[in-house]
């Protein structure tokens, strides 16, 4: 087993590859920093040029709206330069391999590389070859991990509920293919959630998830009962090779988040979704746009969380 390159010899965060095993104190330090990047009252992102002269390269080998834009906006709010690598128009089309592409990105002078890739372990591979002055942030690798999404989800719940300890959290949908689900499970568990339930069809929520210390439930009406937080996840069709459910209509009937299902949750339950949303499949518009929805708060919070992570990796005291 290789040493985890996420931390240096003194335990300082050098890259952000996963939240698995992250000490709660470190997560709370990130939340506290994120809070300092929101203007009091309005909750707008504060501009603070703490990363002036640094270069962030967004190296996205899979599509993204929220993560890529949030990193770009966060880096610019911190005064950094940003370059977006476009996989479709890159030399990958000429047969270049991932390792050569990322070596090139590093040689172009990046201080921070955010990488998203369909292969689990891609960010770790990049971190293992990055020189000392370069930090790697995992923007999502295959079904493995999406650490900044988990941090922004946990912080959104913290801000909405005032705590995570003891909360009943339900993740609904395609858990099997979801890096968000895995990262959320690790982080919410570390932060003391009272009960975490994963729910969906048996094809997408196998019993093996119990090994992560969560409950597996295939009946959504049971799972949402008295939940404090409901996190809806889309079916990840791009990772499915075969049929995992009968039809979009059947999926909505059995596993869609609807008003009546949210009514069965706790009175002030929060509804989260990392996006992108498939309205009319895993969630209906009444709920996605309703008063319990945190979906747009997640997006804004995600900018502050990325500012927090980048300043921490740069070793900047704030
Ligand atoms: N939540 C998330 O990762 O969204 P994007 O794919 O749009 O970045």
Predicted pLDDT at 105: 92
pLDDT of residue 93: 79
State the distance from the centre of ligand 1 to the C-alpha of 277, rounded, in angstroms: 10
> Half-sphere exposure of 152 toward its Cβ, with a 13 Å CA cutoff?
30
The pLDDT score that the predictor gives to residue 88 is: 79
Comparing CA positions, the residue from 155, 156, 211, 200 lying closest to residue 178 is 200
Distant-in-sequence, close-in-space partners of 211: CB < 8 Å, separation ≥ 6: none
Residue nearest to atom 6 of ligand 1 (CA): 64
From the alpha carbon of 70, which atom of ligand 1 is closest?
Answer: 8
Residue among 67, 73, 236, 305 whose CB has most ligand 1 atoms within 8 A, to mutate: 67
Q: Which pLDDT score is estimated for 133? A: 94
- The pLDDT value recorded for residue 179 is 98
Res 112: pLDDT: 98
Give the model confidence (pLDDT) of 258-280 as tens digits.
999 999 999 999 999 999 999 99
> Ligand 1, closest atom to CA 62?
6
Gap from CA of 152 to ligand 1 centroid (Å): 12
pLDDT of residue 43: 75
Task: Give me the pLDDT at residue 50, please.
Answer: 98
CA of 189 to the centre of ligand 1 (A): 22
Q: Which residues of the chain have pLDDT under 70?
A: 1-3
Compute the distance from residue 68 Cα to the ligand 1 centre, in Å.
8
Sheet with 168-172, edge to edge strand ranges? 215-217, 195-199, 168-172, 229-232, 270-272
> Which positions ≥6 away from 48 have C-beta within 8 Å?
37, 77, 78, 79, 318
Q: Ligand 1: distance of its center to the CA of 67 in Å?
A: 5
Rounded Cα–Cα distance for residues 61 and 89 (Å): 11
Query: Could you identify the atom of ligand 1 that is nearest to the CA of residue 146?
Result: 3
Mutational pocket test of ligand 1: of 140, 156, 171, the residue with most ligand atoms within 8 Å of the beta carbon: 140
- The rounded Cα 255 to chain-centroid distance in angstroms is 21
Whether 312 and 13 have beta carbons less than 8 Å apart is answered as yes
Q: Say what the pLDDT of residue 1 is.
A: 46
* 66, 68, 231, best to mutate for ligand 1 pocket (most atoms within 8 Å of CB): 66
Instruction: Give residues (CB < 6 A) around ligand 1.
Output: 64-67, 140, 149, 274-276
Distance 173 CA to ligand 1 centre (A): 16
Beta-carbon-side half-sphere exposure of residue 134 (alpha carbons within 13 Å): 22
Closest CA to 287 of 251, 246, 249, 257: 257
Q: Phi and psi for 166 in degrees, rounded to 5?
A: 80, -5
Q: For residues 151 and 70, what is the distance between their CA atoms, to the nearest angstrom?
A: 13
Nearest atom in ligand 1 to 275's CA = 1
216: nearest Cα among 226, 229, 206, 228: 206
């Amino acid at each position: 087993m290789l040493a985890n390159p996420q931390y240096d010899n003194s335990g300082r965060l050098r890259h952000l590859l996963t939240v698995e095993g992250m000490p709660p104190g470190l997560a709370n330090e990130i939340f506290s920093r994120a809070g300092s990047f929101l203007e009091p009252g309005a909750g707008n992102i504060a501009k603070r040029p703490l990363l002036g002269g640094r270069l962030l390269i967004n190296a996205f080998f899979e599509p993204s709206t929220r993560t890529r834009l949030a990193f770009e906006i966060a880096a610019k709010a911190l005064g950094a330069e940003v370059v977006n690598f476009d996989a479709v128009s890159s030399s990958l089309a000429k047969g270049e391999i991932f390792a050569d592409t990322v070596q090139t990105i590093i040689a172009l002078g990046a201080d921070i590389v955010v990488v998203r890739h369909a292969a689990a372990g891609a960010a770790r591979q990049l971190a293992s070859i990055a020189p000392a002055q370069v930090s790697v942030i995992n923007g999502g690798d295959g079904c493995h991990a999406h650490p900044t999404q988990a941090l922004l989800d946990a912080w959104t719940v913290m801000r909405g509920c005032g705590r995570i300890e003891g909360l009943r959290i339900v993740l609904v949908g395609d858990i099997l293919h979801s890096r968000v689900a895995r990262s959320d499970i690790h982080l919410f568990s570390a932060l003391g959630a009272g009960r975490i339930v994963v729910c969906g069809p048996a094809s997408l929520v196998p019993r093996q998830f119990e090994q992560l210390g969560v409950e597996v439930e295939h009946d959504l009406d049971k799972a949402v009962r008295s939940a404090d937080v409901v996190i809806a996840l889309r079916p990840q069709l791009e990772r499915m090779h075969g049929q995992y459910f009968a039809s979009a209509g059947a999926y909505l009937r059995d596993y869609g988040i609807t008003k009546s299902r949210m009514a069965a949750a706790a009175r002030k339950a929060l509804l989260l979704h990392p996006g992108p949303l498939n309205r009319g499949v895993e969630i209906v518009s009444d709920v996605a746009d309703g008063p319990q929805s945190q979906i747009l708060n997640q997006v804004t919070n995600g900018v502050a969380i990325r500012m927090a992570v980048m300043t921490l990796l740069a070793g900047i005291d704030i």
